[in-house]
Structures are given as C-alpha cells and as structure tokens.
Amino acid sequence: MIRITEDIDRWYEEEQKKTLEIKRRFTSIVKMSEEANKEMDGATAVGNSPDSFLTLANIFEKSPSSRPAK
C-alpha cells in the first residue's frame, strides 16, 4: 500500500511540473503575441504588406520557448 501511495505522489509531482511548464509556455506565447500585435500595429499603419507577416515569424523564431525542448 505504501508503494502505491509513493507512486501516486510521484505521478502527482510530475503532473504538477507539466502543468507549470504549460503555464510558462502559455504566458510566453501571450507575451510574444502582445509584442507581435505592437509590431503589426506599426506595420498596418504603412499597409498590410507581406513583410508584416515576416516580422511575426521573426518574433517566434527568436523566442527560446518556441523551440522544442530537448
């Protein structure tokens, strides 16, 4: 019975870590989105050019959280 409890505790801790990682990534995506919106606002003042979409791609490319974890 003790072993089952230990397994459940270990599983719960792992799930908490996963949840925190998801929250961290979500927060990062929201921040990147806000930055992209600011840059897109500047780009739309000039016009909807294809370059404005490249700016968004560059923001995501520069972000370490957008890369897959190793």
Confidence of residue 55 (pLDDT cuts 50, 70, 90): low
Q: Which amino acid is at 26?
A: F
User: Could you please report the per-residue DSSP string of 2-67?
Assistant: HHHHHHHHHHHHHHHHHHHHHHHHHHHHHHHHHHHHHHHHHHHHH---HHHHHHHHHHHHH-GGGS
Look at the pTM and tell me if it is higher than 0.75: no
What does pLDDT average to over the chain?
75
Cα–Cα distance measured from residue 57 to residue 32, given in angstroms and rounded to the nearest whole number = 11
What is the average pLDDT across 35-50? 64
In this structure, what token pair is assigned to residue 27?
């927060």
Q: Which is higher by pLDDT, 3 or 47?
A: 3
The mean pLDDT of 54-70, rounded to a whole number, is: 57
DSSP states along 36-51: HHHHHHHHHHH---HH
